[in-house]
Amino acid sequence: MKAVAPGAWLGLLGGGQLGRMFTMAAQSMGYKVVVVDPGDHSPAGSVADDHLRADYLDATALDELARRCAAVTTEFENVPAEALRRLAQHCVVSPAADSVAVAQDRIREKRFLAGVGLATAPFAVIESEADADAVDARLLPGILKRARFGYDGKGQMRVASADEVRAAFWALGAEACVLEQRLDLELEVSCVVARGFDGEVRTFPVAENAHSAGILDVSIVPARVAEELAHRARDATVRVAEALDYRGVLCVEYFVVRGGELIANEIAPRPHNSGHYTIDGCITSQFEQQARVMCSLPLGDTAPHGPSVMVNLLGDLWAAGEPDWTHVLCHPRAKLHLYGKDVARVGRKMGHFTVLDDDQERAVTTARAIRAKLDADAAAELESQSS
């Protein structure tokens, strides 16, 4: 495919923080970005060169994207496949609808991962109350997850008995679900990969992730695992991208269980929260890589500058007002990223910070100290307001 030169328009379906960071990366390379998002105020729309306030299936908006843009991408996996297919008739779409569709449904995703030879947690498909009643006791305790439209711990419930499976099935809307056996985890890791239209592939360093209430809390890079395990994670992620014939940036999340076995958890067909460290921590960020794929440019070098730690900033920190960002900015090797969201809510991702250091454990210690000060400020302010 012919390379798309800077100065061209790129289209983006979705207005969230992933789109904001993509937009800023593409603009720094000289491209103009038009965002389609129904909200009046969105993180990506506020920095884009143009913002079309429309539904993702709005024919007028899609036709406008097709007319103006050399290439179009998405910032979340649940964008309607029909929109991607319509756009693909007129311009480059990365990733393609068929590649994204697998990750939009946990049932298809589990079967796909097993089909390419990756281990998954033992699971069962629950599509009816009868399925819930007949559940294999060996899968319990487990986690019941809605097959579609679940993220950040939403759309899932822990269950320990057949009765709880049945109750959770109805609580989740009696929609198709996947019941996964809960595993005894050592840790969780993820790997981000980029694959171009020419088949060129680059993986980013494997991240070690910790979650809180189902939401990513901290990513430590490189993951503190044996190099052999990190190598297996990178190879498995490339295998997923190639089997999907994927063109773009994707992430695969893995569980590491006792004995070092790698269990594929889920695919994110887009840049990923655990890859935000790449903005400051790598020669090429995951968002610049996304633009490079779209524009048929050679992929950038993914080598890290050194160890890094990324910490998510959730709306909880705003419960008593704007946090004191000097706790972050007083550190010369800490980088603050705020997403421009106008309303802070508990559990909502409002930003992140990344700490870089030549010594990994020192980076971890610094990141934890910053986070502790932000948490302490929020707690003290709430207490003063209630007294």
**Residue 18 maps to which CATH number?**
3.40.50.20
State both tokens at 269: 């067909």
27 and 151 in a common domain: no
Whether residue 378 lies inside any domain: the answer is yes
Beta 9-13 vs 69-74: how paired, if at all?
Answer: parallel
Task: Please tell me the pTM assigned to this model.
Answer: 0.95
State both tokens at 143: 């986690």
252 and 379 in a common domain: yes
Confidence at residue 387, expressed as pLDDT on a 0 to 100 scale: 63
159 and 241 in a common domain: no
How many domains does the chain divide into?
3
243 and 326 in a common domain: yes
CATH number at residue 218: 3.30.470.20
CATH number at residue 148: 3.30.1490.20
Confidence at residue 319, expressed as pLDDT on a 0 to 100 scale: 85
Whether residue 291 lies inside any domain: the answer is yes
User: Which residues pair with residue 220 across a beta bridge?
Assistant: 208, 309
249 and 382 in a common domain: yes
142 and 88 in a common domain: no
Confidence at residue 216, expressed as pLDDT on a 0 to 100 scale: 96
Of the candidates 169, 176, 166, 59, which has an alpha carbon nearest to the alpha carbon of residue 109? 176
163 and 64 in a common domain: no
Confidence at residue 151, expressed as pLDDT on a 0 to 100 scale: 65
The rounded distance, in Å, linking the Cα atoms of 134 and 106 is: 20
375 and 312 in a common domain: yes
> At 234, phi and psi to the nearest 5?
-65, -45
Whether residue 105 lies inside any domain: the answer is no
Confidence at residue 152, expressed as pLDDT on a 0 to 100 scale: 60
- Which residue range forms the structural domain that includes residue 301? 185-386
209 and 321 in a common domain: yes
Confidence at residue 64, expressed as pLDDT on a 0 to 100 scale: 97
Beta 50-52 vs 177-181: how paired, if at all?
Answer: unpaired
106 within 8 A of 147, measured Cβ to Cβ: yes
Give mean pLDDT in consecutive 10-residue pieces for the chain, a chain of 387 residues.
95 97 98 96 96 96 97 91 93 93 92 96 95 94 90 83 94 95 96 97 98 95 97 98 97 94 96 98 98 98 98 94 96 98 94 98 98 93 73
Confidence at residue 76, expressed as pLDDT on a 0 to 100 scale: 87
25 and 54 in a common domain: yes
280 and 335 in a common domain: yes
The rounded distance, in Å, linking the Cα atoms of 216 and 273 is: 7
Whether residue 161 lies inside any domain: the answer is yes
73 within 8 A of 91, measured Cβ to Cβ: no
Whether residue 249 lies inside any domain: the answer is yes
> Which among 40, 75, 93 is the end of a domain?
93
**Taking CA 329 as the corner, what is the angle to CA 325 and CA 332, rounded to the nearest 5 degrees?**
165
Whether residue 99 lies inside any domain: the answer is no
Exposed (0-12), middle (13-18) or buried (19+): which is 88, by Cβ within 10 Å? middle
State both tokens at 141: 């305790």
Mention every residue, 6+ apart, whose C-beta is less than 8 A from residue 294.
4, 10, 71, 72, 73, 92, 94, 248
